[in-house]
Amino acid sequence: MLRIAALGIDVGSTTVKIVGVNDTGGITWHHLEQTEPSIEKQTARFFDIIKEKIENLKDIPVIATGYGRNLVKEAIRSVTEITCHAKGIYKEFGHGGTLVDIGGQDSKVIVIDSEGKVIDFVMNDKCAAGSGRFLENTATRLGYKINEIGDLAMKADIEVPISSTCTVFAESEIISMIASGKDTSSILKGLHKSLIKRIVAMIRSVNFMPPLLLSGGVVNNIAIRKMIEEEMGEKLIMPTYPQLMGAYGAALIALDENK
Amino acid sequence: MKIGQYLKYYLNVKLIGNNFLRYQRIKASSKKIIPLKWRTDILAPPLKIDAKTKELIAKHYLEGQFVSGVRPVAWVTSGAPVEILKALDYYVLYPENHAALCGARRKVVDISSEAEKAGYSRDICSYARTDLGATLSKKTPVGRLPKPDLLLACTNICQTVLSWYRVLAHYYNVPLALIDTPFIYGELRDHDVEYVKKQLEDLITIAERVSKRKFNYNNFIRVAKYSKEATELWLEIMKCCKHKPAPISVFDQFIQMAPIVEMRGQKITIDFYWAMLKEIKKRISDGIGAVKNEKKRLLWDNLPIWYKIRYLSEYFGERGISIVASTYTNAWGELASLIDYSNPLESMAKTYLNPILNHGPKYKLNKMKKMIDEYHIDGVILHSDRSCKPYSIGQIDQRNTISKECGVPSLLLEADHNDPRAYADLQVETRLAAFVEMLK
Ligand code: SF4
């Protein structure tokens, strides 16, 4: 049987994550799935899975976060992803900084002080061009898997600038670039740059506090990492489980409430 | 004046309408019934003065329906030197206020779509679109708007009004008087004052010509006195919110500001704000706060989100948060001190050069810093208004400076003051929730 003292569930627009922590706040279990249309059904299934792994689920506090946080019936309450990410990051590193989280359909920049408190944040959840979805859509268009495009972009010497500010139009722009014989790696490099410019503009709109931290699914993309570092002139630090920071923070808050 | 028009006006407005509205207000006040949906568990009961506000606004629009041909009619921008027109007994309509009323009654999408259909872009201010839509389609929740005889636009709030009023002038084929107020980058310069004063003199001539009436200086001084007194009272009401708990919230201020904008220069407005001040002082002495159990106090920047007043008021009320002040409502009380009866035209020029939007963003930032201190503010919400570019410009820097120098958190909230299509419930909720978590 697993040792779980608290659970956090992060219902994002692209993935749902659940994290279990022990008494000292260490991650003992986690599970991740693509988000399904019926969140209630999906989260109920998550809890069925965990029921088989632990004995006393009803005694374990659960906090929900993410855009679907208010749909999780099993949670004692919901907390926003901003607070949860800060909590998770602070626990992992023991210090604050400026966290950039690039999610599937949104991105956020959170400034965390030396005591782990959120002192500022900005979010972009209105425009897919500032999120992971931007890369995913265009990668598919070009016939690549999302985990291949970062390496490919890094291989390019030159960068083809993408002028469209919108994911949908960027796609058509790319199609016409391919048609005119532009090199795919160079297009991909331009595409990454376009996303990074948006992210950096968000970082610049808050009172930046070093170090620069990065979380979210795109952490695995080397081009993203390198380009942010270049643009900001700062070294990036990444958590062990970049996709789980929201759910982890939620579990830690649940743990605190139980004490 | 045609006798038939006058009789209709006298009968419908003076004899029946006004008395009926007065009777309705007295009946409503005596019943002291709190609206069913009112959240008394988290908010103080509605202000008693509410009934009077409703009466004043209803009377104003009722008169508008019958006034054509009886009194000269002017449509003016919110920051226009209306005292000159009031001295000539103009009936004054504020398209911005009418648009806000459409916003609060959720009529904007329907009305504004009429303007969009005619080719006006959705990037134009939603007040302008609502007004142009109402003009083209005659749709309005107030029955009917009177056709203007004169249009008066003053650029002290934005440049949008310039094009907007030109369209109106073209459509109604009436004269447009324009007061161009040079932007104040630093100190007010003498030649700017002289320049505006000259335009005010020209305005008198145009307004005389259109109304076929003679401008009377004594009337003008009387109207200016009423304006000054009402603005001073309004400022005093705002200052009452320095008290903990704040007796009224910014949402009350938004609703009660209608008379100070559209009924400046009238005696009834002074009586109205005297009564309001008295009620608020009573709340203070009884220890009543607008939000029960006030734990945190916020400052609001920019225009209200008219179609979300109730939601926001309850959202914050539930969390023991009172929004006690705003740069917007405060701005209507700031001009008073500049009016000087011994030098009315020159002081009027200074007054109308001085609105917050006619100064650079730093001016607003300094005001906010002062308000954070004086009103014991724990956090700031900067409404980034898709429509109102002059109010929203510089907010990112203002936000950062406030966080850094005043040590209070601040939130940039993207919305639109009148167009609900630029407002996303879920996204706003997440930002508000995260901000509230930050305040703890
Ligand atoms: S742009 Fe701003 S100042 Fe100008 S009319 Fe619209 S809301 Fe008013």
Q: Do B400 and A205 touch (CB under 8 A)?
A: yes
pLDDT at A124 over 80: yes
pLDDT at B149: 98
pLDDT at B36 over 80: no
- Tens digit of pLDDT for each residue in B299-334? 999 999 999 999 999 999 999 999 999 999 999 998
Q: Measured between alpha carbons, how far is B117 from A191 in angstroms, rounded to an integer?
A: 36
Q: Measured between alpha carbons, how far is A8 from A61 in angstroms, rounded to an integer?
A: 8
Closest CA to A99 of A78, A80, A134, A123: A123
- Tens digit of pLDDT for each residue in A204-231? 999 999 999 999 988 889 999 999 999 9
**pTM value?**
0.91
- Which residues are CB-contacts of B62 (< 8 A; sequence separation ≥ 6)? B12, B13, B17, B18, B21, B143
- Tens digit of pLDDT for each residue in A190-204? 888 988 988 999 999
Share of chain B above pLDDT 90, in %: 85
- Tens digit of pLDDT for each residue in B372-391? 999 999 999 999 999 999 99
Q: How far is B24 from chain A (nearest CA, A)?
A: 43
Structural domain spans, chain A: 6-84+244-257
Question: Into how many domains does chain B fold?
Answer: 1
Closest residue on chain B to A106 (Cα): B427
Q: Measured between alpha carbons, how far is B370 from B340 in angstroms, rounded to an integer?
A: 26
B102 vs A178, residue with greater confidence: B102
pLDDT at A128 over 70: no
Closest CA to B165 of B240, B113, B94, B239: B94
Closest residue on chain A to B424 (Cα): A126
pLDDT at B1: 60
What CATH topology corresponds to A6-84+244-257?
A: Nucleotidyltransferase; domain 5 (3.30.420)
Neighbours of B214 (CB within 10 A): 8
pLDDT at A129: 64
Contact residues, chain A, for B405 at CB < 8 Å: none
Q: How far is B414 from chain A (nearest CA, A)?
A: 10
CB pairs under 8 A between A and B: 42
Domain residue limits at B290: 3-439
Tokens of A111: 């400034």
Share of chain B above pLDDT 70, in %: 99
Contact residues, chain A, for B424 at CB < 8 Å: 126
pLDDT at B15: 83
